[in-house]
Structure 1
């Protein structure tokens, strides 16, 4: 039995791959960029080159495995991200419909819901609905707000002692380390083929932007203040960071929905172990090794 991983080069997908390998599973990764193949070849992992925009390439890729992890590829923020990501969802599901894949684990998000220009909330809800009509065993894993969304705040926290946020300083929301999400997804993929349902996964606590600032303070050894960006300035802040006008609009709408209607996950939510302090400390250590360079984006 071979597990296929679509989206293996990111934080979550790489953790899925590593967990499967650690459990002595047969793994093949589906990637678009041939330049990223070496990192997998060095681990003895089979690489399948396929473009998530190409149905036939995906069909050929899916024919080479039995179970599939799906992480819909994020679009370049300078594009119309909702349109681009909806197209890849449609392509993936079309290729999957005629495949021999026996089980699917798909990564979605807290708060997924129908709606236009709601960023991942709308795109991933659309994905969930399409997958539910395939007639295949599908597990949907809705992950909380990624702790890695704060990675880009490291530089301003380090140099200016500032952390910019769209959310109020004391607004608590569920967060999860992406590595933990990948670990959970891999174990769901290894479950019995008929063991499927909708899951929510989050870290050990709820965290606020003020908690993130304190975590940076602890890891950096300097004071860090949380600066809240007013809603009226969200779109301009995103456009200044390289987002297209449409992408900025959908990101702002998604943030507004999350702020106004905090998600209440099911009571048996899956709890991950990595704390916010542990995650922030890990990215600070990585940056000190010269490996983390990102434009500053507000959380």
Structure 2
């Protein structure tokens, strides 16, 4: 049995779908019982649990042999780093005595120690903690999620603009969640002795200008990339519901990315292009 933690987000869902398509038994862990029916219809089992409930998590982990571990993102209205560290501690405690034989964990490009640098530090701490425990573990470092641009659909449609914290021509590696899911599912099914650090990104580097061009093609209207000045980052984040602490963390993480963390020489490249991802996003919104 494969246990999927963080099951109902973009990446967790992609991992589960990839395993189910292979005919593998899957248990989805979610705290939202309303999401159970859809996954059960696909053939998955569903376990209802709060990620902070260590006792319940350990019970679920003991029902399987392999775990996909994604530390759920905290609501931006909270102190996200503090909340994500709290959930991480609960998950790590639940691993002790779980009987699992292999873990595949989701991390991110640029993971590094630090304070107020968002997921970069929390996921680095996850990587380090897994290295210290006894269960064989592989780490998947994903590039910037293409799904992060989904919010831009509305401004692209209504204003002909895509707002970004990066310059229009700033290129960075991006990846579709489904491509991460395929890689993680493969790693989960490999022998326990096959471990490592795996970087996953899309076919090429992309910029906010490329995002705008993809929306323009899909929407069949002009769309331009508009850079949000650095001195407005935190204010713009707070305006959409980020707490002071979360806005600071996100701004600092963005600054780290702009400095250009060292990129892997030989990443695993997914097949999904930014253009096809945006085209599917727009088509899905129009069907809805």
Q: TM-score, normalised by structure 1?
A: 0.95
Structure 1 equivalent of residue 71 of structure 2: 72
Match among 266, 269, 280 for residue 268 of structure 1: 266
User: Partners in 1 of 2:237 and 2:96 — Cα distance?
Assistant: 36
User: Partners in 1 of 2:165 and 2:103 — Cα distance?
Assistant: 34
Shift of 1:44: 2.4
In structure 1, list runs of 5 or more residues that go unmatched.
Answer: 291-299
1:1-299 matches, cutoff 5 A: 2-265=1-264, 267-290=265-288
User: Partners in 1 of 2:17 and 2:164 — Cα distance?
Assistant: 32
User: Partners in 2 of 1:117 and 1:245 — Cα distance?
Assistant: 11
User: Partners in 1 of 2:161 and 2:17 — Cα distance?
Assistant: 34
C-alpha contact 1:173 1:262 (8 A) present in aligned 2: no
Shift of 1:61: 0.8
User: Partners in 1 of 2:254 and 2:68 — Cα distance?
Assistant: 27
Structure 2 equivalent of residue 295 of structure 1: none
Shift of 1:49: 1.2
2:150 partner SS: helix
Shift of 1:191: 0.7
CA-to-partner distance for each residue in 1:150-174, whole Å, 9 max, x for gaps? Answer: 0000000011101100001000000
Shift of 1:24: 1.3
User: Partners in 2 of 1:261 and 1:289 — Cα distance?
Assistant: 38
CA-to-partner distance for each residue in 1:192-222, whole Å, 9 max, x for gaps? Answer: 1110000100000000000100001110000
CA-to-partner distance for each residue in 1:119-177, whole Å, 9 max, x for gaps? Answer: 01011001111111111110000000000000000000011101100001000000000
Shift of 1:261: 2.7
RMSD: 0.8
Q: TM-score, normalised by structure 2?
A: 0.98
In structure 2, list runs of 5 or more residues that go unmatched.
Answer: none
1:74 partner SS: coil
User: Partners in 1 of 2:129 and 2:48 — Cα distance?
Assistant: 24
